[in-house]
Amino acid sequence: MAVFKSRRLLVYAGLAVLFMVIAGSLLAAKFHGPTPSSDARTETMTATRVVTTNSISEESPSSSIAKQVASMSLEEKVGQMMMIGFEGKSINISLKNMIANDHIGNVILFGPNIDSDQQVAALDASLQQLAVADKQPAQLMIATDQEGGKIRRLADIGPQYSEPVIGSMGIVSGAAYLHQSALEAARQLKQLGVNTDLAPVADVLSGDKSIMIDRSFGNDPRLVSELTGTAVKSFNQEKLISCVKHFPGLGSVVTDPEEELPTIASDKSTIDRQDLPPFTEAIKDEAPMVMVTHVSVPALDPSMTPASLSRPIITDLLRNQLGFQGVIITDDLEMGAISIAPGEAAVSAIAAGADMVMFAHTPQKQQQAYDAIVAAVKSGRISEEIINASVMRILQMKQSFGLDQL
């Protein structure tokens, strides 16, 4: 990743100096200080030009997006509601066909898809050309997990420090470091054609055996909330889509959803106090997207249904009680925690309130999921109004972050 090394060295060399200046400003404002003057507010709005999904959802849908949705076929709409992965460092025939035939609107990149800066940039440009050829209503969302620390698909893009190290800096210094790192990471990702970061991690640690022990900012809900909000606002500033995860929280979990379904045994008051504050903060700070994970939470859904398939957790809690009006995406529905067939998992997630479902690896499962969603709408199991509402949210988000122009 030589193309960014000299600039990264300059950025991090200057961080020590920046900490004192920025930390003082943050301590005074805590990111929630007095409303800026009208001149400052106008200047900030001009500089960032970010209109978030939360604010859009409170207004009448734009006529252009409403017309787009009305003109789309059911198959085109369902394509916007799926995020898929693929094998290899170039576009394979399966991915090409799914974009061309099923109108898939969102792609995720993992380590095996990545070789160099130049290769990623060329791959992403080629992916967007497929969207142009398919006459999609917006650019592809091209996502990766660039959390920082342990989970960093592109090795030379920050944050270079792990979440636990950032958390150990404390609210003020940690937020100062994270703000600068997130800004720089967003710029570098966008230069490579990656327009979505599946981060930040909002899980609050509980216990020393948590699977998130090397990916969480820490065990203090207030600290994790402040740092999560800082990351969201920094990504928003650079118009990079962020995705807060893993709702409703994996901080106390010791079983990896990659392998099997974990259970959170906490009562509701503990969840409200320990796990939910970072997500509440992210929503307040206008997070565009939230990822729901695969975990059973009896205190929130006595049926023991995985959160990613649970209407009480997705719609009743996240959408209605917490008031999140952005895009809700599932974690990868190919994980071991999901024991039902791919098609049924996809339909169940959307029926529960998810806007987008992820199938990160297997073409056959991706196709089964797509076909099952289309069939569920045609059979009446899922109303097309639900599909329309999700596609509106997705296209609103893409427009807000500059992905509406192919």
pLDDT in tens, 380-391: 999 999 999 999
Asked if the structure places residue 405 within a domain, the reply is no
Q: How far apart are the first and last CA of the chain?
A: 27
Residues 330 and 356 sit within 8 Å (Cβ to Cβ): yes
Q: Considering its fold, how many domains does the chain have in total?
A: 1
- pLDDT digits 0-9 by tens, 349-394: 999 999 999 999 999 999 999 999 999 999 999 999 999 999 999 9
Name, in order, each residue with C-beta under 8 angstroms of 216's C-beta and a sequence gap of 6 or more: 163, 164, 167, 201, 203, 204, 205, 210, 224, 251
State the CATH number of the domain containing residue 279.
3.20.20.300
- pLDDT digits 0-9 by tens, 207-254: 889 999 999 999 999 999 999 999 999 999 999 999 999 999 999 999
Asked if the structure places residue 406 within a domain, the reply is no
**What range defines the domain where residue 88 resides?**
2-400
Mean pLDDT computed over 12-37? 41
Asked if the structure places residue 219 within a domain, the reply is yes
Residues 360 and 110 sit within 8 Å (Cβ to Cβ): yes
Which is more confident, 10 or 213? Answer: 213
Asked if the structure places residue 123 within a domain, the reply is yes
Asked if the structure places residue 14 within a domain, the reply is yes
Asked if the structure places residue 39 within a domain, the reply is yes
Asked if the structure places residue 102 within a domain, the reply is yes
